[in-house]
Amino acid sequence: MTVPTSQQLNFRCVASFGDTIGSERIILDYTEPTTTTGFQAIIIPVELAASATDTQVNLASYVDTATFITILDRNNTGFKVAAGGTANKFTIAADGCFSIKNGAATPPTLYLDNVSTTAKAFIEIGVMGTSA
């Protein structure tokens, strides 16, 4: 199989507030300013049982480099996440997301907890990078 041609990876994060769509005041508008390239963009769906803790997702199983990582809550439960170990997890609000530019580009192992004691969590992990 031929490796696909690399393209510039585009990452954008916008935060705004306002009463109606189109009248929002943008308070943060970050667009990745470098020429980082890659050819792999994947979505990894993860289902967590109620109260599940320390569910591991090794991103190295999916990609060789992970430049941008975004984790989304798709079931209004919220979740906790840490990379590289089970300590110091971030709590992400229901229907929230967590995005990073991975400075090392080495794909981390993510550790996920479902903060709901009654409902399953449905998480989507988006990764942009490269694969062999």
User: What string of DSSP letters covers 107-118?
Assistant: PPEEEEEE--SS
pLDDT (tens place) for every residue of the chain, 132 residues total: 566 677 777 777 777 787 777 777 777 777 766 667 777 889 999 999 999 999 999 999 999 999 889 999 999 999 999 998 999 999 999 999 999 888 888 999 999 999 999 999 999 999 988 887
Residue 42 sits in a domain of what CATH number? 2.60.120.380
Question: Could you give the 3-state DSSP secondary structure of residue 73?
Answer: strand
Chain-centroid distance, C-alpha 70: 2
Residues spanned by the domain of 110: 38-130
The answer to whether residue 80 is domain-embedded is: yes
The answer to whether residue 13 is domain-embedded is: no
pLDDT given for residue 2 in this prediction: 63
The answer to whether residue 82 is domain-embedded is: yes
The answer to whether residue 1 is domain-embedded is: no
The answer to whether residue 19 is domain-embedded is: no
Provide the domain count of the chain: 1
